Structure 1
């Protein structure tokens, strides 16, 4: 009878190899989208009145998150502590996909933002930074006479 040379599922191993190779090159998209860009994962969008940045960072103390805005560059920095039982000598860790350590994300913002009105809030593991646009940059309707 045929006996597998590999103790694991071959397709799972091929999938793991593809993910590792994609992380090395981080250039081409796959069916899952582009490779991970770092921690925390970001969503950045804009409205006519503001720029919205969402950082998905569960398990952080909001007091330890640094949010800085300097000359149109938004910087998010902080540290995520490792899990307590990750250092247990009796435990063997096979897969560790949870990020632990210092992080820093830098985002270039458009020129029409108003740095005086920045608002940051952290709720349910999501940091939301809202940066209003300058009133002069917002679209307005001009009445024709």
Structure 2
């Protein structure tokens, strides 16, 4: 009912503005704690040798993703295209909760992350980023002679 009084894009624009304001005032997330919201959703874990990041990004073309690691800050950015009905289709959109548009997630990595040993793979809407830990930071056994 109210959607007929206002342009449909106004509500989407207000939602986008709300998300951006929330991200602007939330502290930068680290591997120990993340903000409550954001796209893509992230799962982060670690082993003795790696830090594993999973970005859940359904509907995003992996070729359009930009993943950067600079000074211990990992950035995942891209854009998810709208799934709007084709022009001329006799379809009315009542609820649209799917996020579309540009996105950016920033993650602070531990000091022992090696920026030269990063791999990223995408499969079925999940981007898996593996960051190796520096060899100098790994535990090692010292032989006694």
CA–CA distance in structure 2, aligned partners of residues 111 and 117 of structure 1: 14
Matched, 1:84 2:84: yes
Q: Which runs of 4+ in 1 moved over 2 A?
A: 86-95, 141-145
Task: Identify the residue that residue 97 of structure 2 maps to in structure 1.
Answer: 97
Q: Describe the superposition over 1:35-57 as per-residue Cα deviations: whole angstroms up to 9, x where unpaired.
A: 85111000011110011110000
Q: Could you say which structure has the larger radius of gyration?
A: 1
RMSD: 2.8
Is the 1:86–1:93 contact (alpha carbons within 8 Å) kept by the matching residues of 2?
Answer: no
What's the TM-score once normalised by structure 2's chain length? 0.70
CA–CA distance in structure 2, aligned partners of residues 136 and 104 of structure 1: 31
- 5+ unaligned residues in a row in structure 2: which ranges? 1-18, 23-33
What's the TM-score once normalised by structure 1's chain length? 0.70
Is the 1:67–1:74 contact (alpha carbons within 8 Å) kept by the matching residues of 2?
Answer: yes
CA–CA distance in structure 2, aligned partners of residues 114 and 35 of structure 1: 24
Is the 1:57–1:127 contact (alpha carbons within 8 Å) kept by the matching residues of 2?
Answer: yes
- 5+ unaligned residues in a row in structure 1: which ranges? 1-22, 26-33
